[in-house]
Amino acid sequence: MGFGWQELLIILVIVALIFGTKKLRGIGSDLGGAVKGFKDSISTDGADEDKSVGDDANVKKESAEKESAKTESAEKETDKPQG
* Percent of the residues in the chain that have a pLDDT greater than 70, as a whole number: 55
Alpha helices in the chain (DSSP H): 5-19, 21-79
* Percent of the residues in the chain that have a pLDDT greater than 90, as a whole number: 25
Indicate the average pLDDT of the chain.
Answer: 77
Whole-model pTM?
A: 0.40
pLDDT at 52: 55
pLDDT tens by residue, 25-54: 898 999 999 999 999 998 887 666 555 555
Q: What whole-number distance in Å separates Cα of residue 48 and Cα of residue 65?
A: 25
Residue 20 sits at φ, ψ, to 5 deg, of: 90, 150
Q: What whole-number distance in Å separates Cα of residue 46 and Cα of residue 69?
A: 35
pLDDT tens by residue, 15-32: 889 988 888 889 899 999
